[in-house]
Amino acid sequence: MINKQEILKVQNLHVNINNKEIITGLNLVINKGEIHAIMGKNGSGKSTLAKVISGHPSYEITKGNIFFKNEDITHEQPENRAHRGIFLAFQYPIEVPGVSNLDFLRLAYNCKQKKLNKKEIDPLSFFELINKELTKIHMDSLFLNRDLNEGFSGGEKKKNEILQMSLLKSELSILDEIDSGLDVDALKNISDNIKKFADKDNAILLITHYEKVINYINPDYVHIMDKGNIVYTGNKKTALNIDKYGYEYFTIKK
Ligand code: ADP
Ligand code: MG
């Protein structure tokens, strides 16, 4: 058996917001090549976990640690985490009028290149590169000229997050309800793109409410979160049972 390579280890994590404990001693290990899904009722702490892993400054870690590739990043700045290889696709991507999508993407790409001591890319070569990524995910290049997320439909915003994920090729991509508010075709498209992106060298943490998406992507693990902790870990059958019996079935069973 080949040794598993740890990408993320969350150890006994406790997180407060305004003195209220939101994450309550959570443990999670994600290895290279794995896809983990997190499901759970609204307010169970899924987005909080996603933001804390990526270093959102509003949350206070009161206890526990977060390791990325065996290095302790519990108190690392969010931009350093991004450069190390953590990507977060937001549940609610923000609109940034005045910043073109193309400029934003190139800046993000070059920032990472610079941090990794790699050559920054000129606008023309970047245009070629980003168009390749667009083609892969079947996205119209007209979106490059528009301002970041401004006036994008819900599905288009989510697709733009997928574009960033494909472009940055982070080792850990956290997708927070990337599939919410999408119609069936868009759901299939996003799931396809996630499946295409996932490989043996990266890892994905997928937060979703959809059994359909779980069934299609077939993650290695499906975790259920309740009251700030993982209360059950199963596989895609778990998602099917949630669909049938609701979350209560798992949260009481514990
Ligand atoms: P989920 O993503 O699972 O729906 P969240 O992580 O968004 O849940 O929220 C978990 C809990 O933390 C909720 O009770 C929510 O109201 C609370 N919470 C999240 N962010 C804040 C905040 N900035 N201030 C106060 N409470 C918050
Ligand atoms: Mg959420």
Residues 114-168 have pLDDT tens digits of 988 999 999 999 999 999 999 988 899 999 999 999 999 988 999 999 999 999 9
Cα of 51 vs centre of ligand 2, distance in Å, is 10
Residues 100-122 have pLDDT tens digits of 999 999 999 999 999 889 999 99
Cα of 72 vs centre of ligand 1, distance in Å, is 25
**Is the pTM of the predicted complex or chain greater than 0.85?**
yes
- Residue 117: exposure state from Cβ atoms within 10 A (0-12, 13-18, ≥19): exposed
pLDDT band at 4 (very low <50, low <70, confident <90, very high): confident
**What whole-number percentage of the chain has pLDDT above 90?**
84
Say if residue 253's pLDDT is above 80. no
Where do you find CATH 3.40.50.300 in the chain?
6-88+153-253
- Pick the ligand that lies closest to the CA of residue 38: 1
Architecture of domain 6-88+153-253: 3-Layer(aba) Sandwich (3.40)
Radius of gyration of the chain (CA): 18
Predicted local distance difference test score (pLDDT) of residue 186: 87
Cα of 75 vs centre of ligand 2, distance in Å, is 22
150-162 CB burial, b ≥16 within 10 A, e <16: eebeebbbbbbbb
Cα of 39 vs centre of ligand 2, distance in Å, is 10
Say if residue 254's pLDDT is above 60. no
Using most ligand atoms within 8 A of CB, pick from 17, 223, 230 the residue to mutate for ligand 1.
17
Residue nearest to atom 7 of ligand 1 (CA): 47
Say if residue 2's pLDDT is above 90. no
